[in-house]
A and B are shown apart, each in its own frame.
Chain A
Amino acid sequence: MQDTLTDAQICQPENMVYCRTALMTQAPLSYCPGCGHGTAHRLIMEVIEEMKMQANTIGVAPVGCSVLAYDFLDIDMQQAAHGRAPAVATGIKRLYPDKFVFTYQGDGDLAAIGTGETIHACNRGENITIFFVNNGIYGMTGGQMAPTTLPGMKTATSPFGRDTETMGHPLKITELIANLPGTYFVSRQSVHTPANVRKAKKAIEKAIQYQKLNKGLNFVEIVSNCNSGWKMTPLESNKWMEENMFPFYPLGDIKVPK
């Protein structure tokens, strides 16, 4: 019978299939186990690393679960007030047109309190990139109803389910901004399976690459889970996301350059 391999024998460069992206810091992620934010962070940093853009990148963090994004991303970053990231990014990009400027925002930040800033940055065709993580809930504040919460979905502030008659309808902001002449590339992805991660990375690559063309705003939505806020296990939440979120927020490119 063959001896089992020791850890040291396994951990050889030729056996490496996965490692921490160099542009992710050593800080442990503050996200709940099973949450999509970590994967979304890594994908963006992976692309920035592959494109050798660290010295040329300025990121803007939102208010929400990813308020501390700058703890994890090894790039220069600014933390914006709630919803104002697209305005902050506009200020940076207008003064540094050759830098890569992006915002990373959640649905409460981008589609509720920051709707004005989002729509006008998109409509002006600011040459920035927006990464939008949509999990249909306010995660950080403890699971309240978000602008993207699905009809009937239970949250801390819609304990009997979102009643669209009194609480309004979920906002498909991505479709809305895709209709604006200032957006160049708009895509909706997810990061809950390896296949989806690969597709999401492609979209992120495009959204970063296209900024160099100065053709307008590039936007990638990542539909994600919030197992804590949805009160499910990570696996259950991914299944629930496929069955409920994706029919309402269908994945794929929404606006592609001609």
Chain B
Amino acid sequence: MKEIRLMKGNEAIAEGVIRAGCDGYFGYPITPQSEVLEYLMANKTKERTGMIVLQAESEIASIHMVYGGAASGKRVMTSSSSPGISLMQEGISFMAGTELPCLLLNVVRGGPGLGTIQPSQSDYFQAVKGGGHGDYKMIVLAPASVQEMYDFAKLGFELAFKHRIQVMVLSDGAIGQMMEKVELDEQVPRWTDEEIVKLHPWSTTGKTPDRERNIITSLDLNPVKQEIINRNLQKKFKHIEETEVRFERIMCDDAEYLFVAYGSSARICQKAVSLGRAKGIKVGLLRPITLFPYPSKELEKLAKQVKGMLSVEMSAGQMVEDVRLSVNGAVPVEHYGRLGGIIPAPDEVLNVLEEKFIKENLLCKTH
């Protein structure tokens, strides 16, 4: 029988990374995600699996410790919240340039600046469009439950090493802090140093006589070579777009109207779908699970079926741009967002959907 526990989202991902065979966590406290580091410390990971946990002096140091560990082929991660993730952009860009695998967790809070400690989804652009300098993307996973916080630890490491890419779990203060039941699975063993040498021949583990030295660098001053490096990166992102899209369809089969929402907003919209259905409105929800790669093709398909899409986000309208790009004018796309840490209510978003699409249509018909 599966082990079941009642956990906070932040605790669930911490337990998830231990069980996923994580080798090292480097982080700095920030609300609303400090439980990750606290949980790892309290769990004596060194004794449990040999996992190293270190509280760094800053988010900048944390991400560069992650860089060092990742470049040596280890499963490493850090977690933070919005202002801390901003500080990490330098390191993330360097990891993009060197194609280093790692797991990053952003438990998003409202900004800009110090903003608030309340949940928000206003870091979508930063996470999905590449945050730091240079042309790059990360795989971005958006959990909508505590269970997914747990599950995305293992999935995140798998994707990171499969594609040699940074994987960000883009959560928010609500998912991080709320408690739900979590099904846990078996411990994945950490790789031995010998396994790392075999599995990741590119990693810096000490030059042995049987191979050339390994160098992890993002620098190439020759523009011709640098363009090739960049083209290869783009090829990889394209491949990921073709192979790693994940989404969930909720009541979409006969839907005439569609919510598009991820994370906490998707939970709100799921309830709004039930409320709408009870009122006889054929409404569905498309929940992107990967924000990069984005489920554009699925939205393109749904655009042929529905009369309108409402992107619900706890932001001023960020993901809505990707929804519009996906449907390319085929169907009206509206945005509804709450800002500054306010979570919209299910009846509130349903009302907006009715206002924007259904009542307007009724008016048209009466004229």
Contacts and interface: CB of A to CB of B under 8 A. Distances in A.
Tell which of A54, A56, A77, A92 has the most Cβ of chain B within 10 Å: A92
Contacts of A191: none
Contact of B207 (A54, A61, A84, A120): A54
B172 to A, nearest CB: 27
A64 to B, nearest CB: 12
Interface in B246-296: none
A31 interface: no
B67 A58 contact: no
Contacts of B209: 55
Tell which of B62, B90, B205 has the most Cβ of chain A within 10 Å: B205
B64 A117 contact: yes
Interface stretch (A68-76, A181-189, A199-207, A246-254): A68-76
B74 interface: yes
Interface stretch (B109-117, B136-144, B216-224): B216-224
Interface stretch (B8-16, B53-61, B121-129, B175-183): B53-61
Contacts of B65: 87-88, 90-91, 94
A67 to B, nearest CB: 7
Nearest to A120: B57
Tell which of B23, B65, B76, B215 has the most Cβ of chain A within 10 Å: B65
A55 B217 contact: no
A70 B72 contact: no
A76 B214 contact: yes
A87 B60 contact: yes
Contacts of B61: 84, 87, 90, 116-117, 120
A80 interface: yes
Nearest to B90: A81
Contacts of B219: 67-68, 79
A74 B24 contact: no
Interface residues of B, number: 40
B69 A92 contact: yes
B163 to A, nearest CB: 20
- DSSP majority for the B interface? mixed
Interface in B15-71: 23-24, 26, 52, 54, 56-58, 60-62, 64-71
Contacts of A61: 217
B54 A94 contact: yes
Interface in A78-136: 78-81, 84, 87-92, 94-96, 99, 116-117, 120
**Interface size range on A against B:** 20 to 34
Contacts of B23: 95
A92 B62 CA distance: 12
B68 to A, nearest CB: 3
Nearest to A117: B61
B91 A76 contact: no
Given A90-B54, A96-B72, A84 B64 contact: yes
A77 B213 contact: yes
Nearest to B217: A79
Contacts of B206: 54-58, 75-76, 99
Given A55-B209, A57-B206, A79 B216 contact: yes
A142 to B, nearest CB: 15
A94 B26 CA distance: 10
Nearest to A81: B94
A58 B208 CA distance: 12
Tell which of B26, B70, B207, B209 has the most Cβ of chain A within 10 Å: B207
A79 B90 contact: no
B57 to A, nearest CB: 4
Q: Which 4 A-B pairs have the closest CB atoms?
A: A91-B68, A91-B65, A79-B217, A87-B64
7 contacts: A78-B216, A84-B67, A91-B24, A91-B67, A91-B69, A94-B52, A120-B57
Given A78-B67, A81-B67, A91-B69, 15 more contacts: A56-B206, A58-B72, A78-B71, A78-B216, A80-B94, A81-B90, A87-B60, A87-B62, A88-B64, A91-B64, A91-B76, A92-B71, A94-B24, A116-B58, A120-B61
